[in-house]
Chain A
């Protein structure tokens, strides 16, 4: 890996950066109506629940589906315009698709897979092979060139799939949950690779993901889709660290309590006071949200005493495994806002005899709580 890994990627870039995208897409059968714009070299993460239309959006951009109404322009070239009937087929768009599964052609070696794009472009066999080997080496899969896909692990196969996509020289990369099918050990390595590919090489990409970490590490901007529409949009860190809507909070996996800003936090409509670090942009008396990480929440059967904390009485709705932890999901609040959740160790869950229907107290330190303006405020 070359160059600094951390820090914002905004320095001068060598060479022209392509991938400027302006898209308006409607597909009534799937209830999709989305506007999307990418600056050249920008990465946008698309978050949203299943059935929100995320994969449909990628298929429309790739040219695998036709919109009912819409227009897509990539680097000034019109790919789709339903007003004029223009439609550039998938194979002439240079928008490589990387899916959840690697989908390597099973009858071809890793090198032949990576050479597929160059060969389709009309490159000679030797040149395509050389290009494929270079891309495989660039993703750290040079030693896998002669293997068949069946002989590769999930992580290796996805690396080869990345090399294959890059070898096609895409102007825009379309990533459909590329880490979702990988095990916990391979996902971070691939995320690291994609970070280098996307951020350091400044490639435009639309990244569909469920994972807040993917969005934080890989994306400049986040777009939250729900029911085929964009419900929240903004810089990745802003939306995910400080979600303004209950929906974005749920997607980000962050607890959110809404209410009215007070001097040292907020007060809910039920009169529960939540203490935290209040943003200066959120004046006292305005609509506000308090956000905190579920891992910062402790679960007690009796109201805890001692150091000053926020204590929120809830009723457990469900217990579900999250990695090595147990996610304690509370019932939705009386005002309809989504239930809070807390991540505790399996041992703690067992010690406390937690079960659905049990009334418990969620405690979170004031230092772990950030209070800022609510969406639309």
Chain B
């Protein structure tokens, strides 16, 4: 192993500080006394439960739609597959508020799809469904990228052997391909869950901020920031705790393999 040039350590340390020091800053501001009361207030509990519910639903939606997308991108060969791969990543680079606007002009009452839904008596915008859609919109690329990478690493040799042993394509998918990419799928799902949990811009734009319906934890934090900074900090701590659990869970899984 070659040794690193010594100067590399300096920017690396600055980078680490950029991530860690603000967390310390937040922790220093936490009103440890009365923390329980703030976190268990009705508004906070509503926001937390809504966040967990919507992020779970969004993760399920990402898995159900994202795994087939990753399969098509990794295994199918057709014209435009490269363009499609690039387009799938758009939500990753798009400002979430722009994504929220796009969703609004699609599923809103006057939107592209919303107009037809309105006729059927279904309103998506400013509902809990809208929260889930906004979260799935921003989280989907994380899952697709993760599963597609796992598929590329796994290669197709196991699938070829399975086919010569008499397994139909569906059997190959369920008994060989998916088990092989399960670690990638799990970490992709955890990332999608974390991204959904932290979603703010698209949710606010597309779903609004209605307590118990669309006001998720990040929205609650932003709201409390004006009225009750202590409560905002306490709730932020809750989000940090969830993030840490998520990171440890994925890292631990990888280390165990």
Complex contacts, A133 vs chain B, CB 8 Å:
none
**Min distance, Cβ A151 to any Cβ of chain B, angstroms:** 15
Complex contacts, A97 vs chain B, CB 8 Å:
160-161, 164
Given A106-B180, A107-B179, CB of A90 within 8 Å of CB of B163: yes
**Min distance, Cβ B96 to any Cβ of chain A, angstroms:** 37
- Return the chain B residue nearest A97 by Cβ: B164
Most chain-A Cβ atoms within 10 A of its Cβ — which of B161, B171, B180, B182? Answer: B161
> Among B163, B169, B179, which residue has its beta carbon within 8 angstroms of that of A64?
B163
> Among B160, B164, B179, which residue has its beta carbon within 8 angstroms of that of A105?
B179
Query: Interface 1/0s, chain A 193-233, versus B by CB < 8 A?
Result: 00000000000000000000000000000000000000000
Most chain-B Cβ atoms within 10 A of its Cβ — which of A64, A90, A93? Answer: A90
Given A103-B157, A105-B158, A120-B171, CB of A90 within 8 Å of CB of B179: no
Q: Are A99 and B165 in contact (CB under 8 A)?
A: no
Check if A21 is an interface residue, CB within 8 A of chain B: no
| Residue total for B at the interface (Cβ-Cβ under 8 A) | 19
Q: A357 vs B221: C-alpha distance in the bound complex, in angstroms?
A: 80
Q: A164 vs B176: C-alpha distance in the bound complex, in angstroms?
A: 15
Complex contacts, A251 vs chain B, CB 8 Å:
none
Q: Are B157 and A165 in contact (CB under 8 A)?
A: no
- Return the chain B residue nearest A114 by Cβ: B165
Q: Are B165 and A96 in contact (CB under 8 A)?
A: yes
Check if A117 is an interface residue, CB within 8 A of chain B: yes
> Among B158, B166, B179, B182, which residue has its beta carbon within 8 angstroms of that of A120?
B166
Check if A363 is an interface residue, CB within 8 A of chain B: no
A:59-87 near B, CB below 8 Å? 59, 62-64
Q: Are B171 and A90 in contact (CB under 8 A)?
A: no
> Among A89, A99, A105, which residue has its beta carbon within 8 angstroms of that of B163?
A89
Check if B82 is an interface residue, CB within 8 A of chain A: no
| Residue total for A at the interface (Cβ-Cβ under 8 A) | 30
Complex contacts, A116 vs chain B, CB 8 Å:
162, 165, 167, 175
Complex contacts, A99 vs chain B, CB 8 Å:
157, 161
Complex contacts, B163 vs chain A, CB 8 Å:
62-64, 89-91
Q: A63 vs B161: C-alpha distance in the bound complex, in angstroms?
A: 11
Given A105-B176, A106-B180, A107-B179, CB of A117 within 8 Å of CB of B166: yes
Complex contacts, A170 vs chain B, CB 8 Å:
164
Query: Interface 1/0s, chain B 140-166, versus A by CB < 8 A?
Result: 000000000000000001101111111
Check if B6 is an interface residue, CB within 8 A of chain A: no
Given A103-B157, A105-B179, CB of A164 within 8 Å of CB of B164: no
Check if A94 is an interface residue, CB within 8 A of chain B: yes
Check if A135 is an interface residue, CB within 8 A of chain B: no
**Min distance, Cβ A55 to any Cβ of chain B, angstroms:** 11
- Return the chain A residue nearest B182 by Cβ: A107
Check if A28 is an interface residue, CB within 8 A of chain B: no
**Min distance, Cβ B234 to any Cβ of chain A, angstroms:** 43
Query: Interface 1/0s, chain A 91-119, versus B by CB < 8 A?
Result: 11111110101010111100000001101
Q: Are A107 and B180 in contact (CB under 8 A)?
A: yes
Most chain-B Cβ atoms within 10 A of its Cβ — which of A91, A101, A107? Answer: A91
Q: Are B161 and A168 in contact (CB under 8 A)?
A: no
> Among A91, A95, A101, A174, which residue has its beta carbon within 8 angstroms of that of B167?
A91
Given A107-B180, A116-B175, CB of A90 within 8 Å of CB of B160: yes
> Among A62, A101, A106, which residue has its beta carbon within 8 angstroms of that of B164?
A62
Check if A121 is an interface residue, CB within 8 A of chain B: yes
Q: A63 vs B168: C-alpha distance in the bound complex, in angstroms?
A: 13
Binding site for A on B (CB under 8 A): 157-158, 160-169, 171-172, 175-176, 179-180, 182
Q: List 29 A-B pairs, Cβ < 8 Å.
A: A59-B160, A63-B163, A64-B160, A90-B163, A91-B163, A91-B165, A91-B169, A95-B164, A97-B164, A99-B157, A101-B157, A103-B161, A105-B158, A105-B175, A105-B180, A107-B180, A107-B182, A116-B162, A116-B167, A117-B165, A119-B175, A120-B162, A120-B167, A120-B168, A164-B165, A168-B164, A168-B166, A170-B164, A174-B164
Binding site for B on A (CB under 8 A): 59, 62-64, 89-97, 99, 101, 103, 105-108, 116-117, 119-121, 164-165, 168, 170, 174
Known contacts A63-B163, A91-B163; 4 further A-B pairs (Cβ under 8 A): A62-B160, A105-B158, A120-B166, A168-B165
